[in-house]
Amino acid sequence: MRKDFFCGVDVSKAEIDICFLTSVENHKAKFDTLPNNYEVIKAYFESFKNDDILVVFEATSKIIIYRFKRLYLILKSNIM
């Protein structure tokens, strides 16, 4: 079953904090923390490849932008 998610990400050098919201009113927010490791982040978000997900984050450094751009391209290629 396809789900809609809104995902806010706070990125630090050591880890990323993630908050998921859905369009369903009675669902509570889900919070996760992952190590700031490309392979871990990639595996985590690949589990959502059958869902619609909007990820937002504050881009505070070039490496963060680069990593999430790579992740986006990987996920996009898996979906299409």
The pLDDT, as a whole number, for residue 75 is 66
What is the rounded CA–CA span in Å between residue 54 and residue 29?
15
| Band of pLDDT at residue 74, cut at 50, 70 and 90 | low
Which residue type does 77 have? S
| Band of pLDDT at residue 70, cut at 50, 70 and 90 | confident
The pLDDT, as a whole number, for residue 31 is 94
Retrieve residue 78's tokens: 């898996």
Give me the torsion for CA of 73, 36, 18, 6, rounded to 10°.
-10
Q: Are 2 and 50 in contact (CB under 8 A)?
A: yes
Q: For the segment 15-55, what is each residue's pLDDT rounded down to a tens digit?
A: 989 998 887 778 888 999 999 888 898 888 888 878 888 88
End-to-end CA distance of the chain: 18
